[in-house]
Amino acid sequence: MQINGSTVLLTGASGGLGQAIARELARRGAPLVLTARNEAVLSELAEEVGGEVVVADLSRRADVDALCDRMADVDVLVCNAGVGGDGHQTEVSPDRIDTVLDVNLRAPMQLSNAFARARIASGRAGQIVMVGSVAGLVAAANTSLYNATKFGLRGFTLAIRQDYAVHDIGVTHLAPGFIHTAGMFADNDMELPPLVRARSPRDVAAAVAGAITNNPAEAWVIPPELRATATLATIAPGLSERLQRAMGIADMTRDR
C-alpha cells in the first residue's frame, strides 16, 4: 500500500518507538492521527509532523470505543501501544492483569476489527501493522504477562491476515527485539546480556513503513543471532530455558 497520502492512525505515539514511527511516516507523506495518553507529548509531536491528536488510554474501554468510531477515513492502522514490566507472576495484581491484557491484546483486537469493518464497508483496501515483540516467540522468566499478550497478539495477527486477505486488507506482525533508547527494556534500564545487540527506534520505524508498502506476514527487527535464538526457542523451548538460565536472563528481568 502507498504511504504517501494514506491516513495512518498510530497508537502509542508518545513513546520513543511511536515518535520514530510518526516521523518516518510523516516524512513519507502520510497524514497522521496520533493517539496516546500523554497530551503534551502528542501535541508537541503533532506540531512537528502534522496530524490530529486524539488522547486515549487503551486500558479504558470508552476510549477504545471512541477510537473505533474514528476509523471511517483511516487507511492504515498501526497498533504500537504496549505495556510491560509485570514482574514475578505471584506478585501481579488482578488489576495489573486487566491493564496489560486490555492495552496489549484487547485494544488491538477491537481496533483492528473496527478498522476492517470500516474498510470493507467502503470497499477500499487497507493495511494493519501490529507491533508485537520477539517476546511473542520467546518466553522468559518474570515477563509472563508480557509474553502471554505478545504470544496472543502474534496468533491473532497471523489469523486475521488470512481472514482479511479476501477484502484486500493486509496485515503484518512486526517483531522487534531489544531496542536501545526505547521500549520495555530501555524503559526499565535493563542491561543486555553479553554479545546481544540492540536495534534502534529508526529501524523499527523503517520496518513499519516496509510493512505498509509490502504487506509481509511478519517482519523481525532483530539482529541475525537473536533471530536464530528466537527460532530455536519456538522449536526447543526447554533448551531455550537452559540457555537463558546460563546467561542470567532471569536475574536481569527480576532486578529491573
Write out 48-78 in H/E/C secondary structure: HHCCEEEECCCCCHHHHHHHHCCHHHCCEEE
Instruction: Pull the grid cell for residue 139.
Output: 518466553
CA distance 147 to 136: 6
Spatial contact of 154 and 175, defined as CB atoms under 8 Å apart: yes
Per the annotation, the verdict on 146 as an active-site residue is yes
**Distance in angstroms (rounded) separating the CA atoms of residues 175 and 59:** 22
Which residue among 16, 30, 146, 148 is the active-site one?
146
Residues near 120 by beta carbon (within 8 Å), at least 6 away in sequence:
167, 169
Q: Annotate 98-145 with DSSP letters as a single string.
A: HHHHIIIIIHHHHHHHHHHHHHHHHT--EEEEEE--GGGT---TT-HH
Query: In whole angstroms, what is the distance from residue 213 CA to residue 202 CA?
Result: 17
| Contact indicator for 97, 145 with CB cutoff of 8 Å | yes
Active site residues per annotation: 146
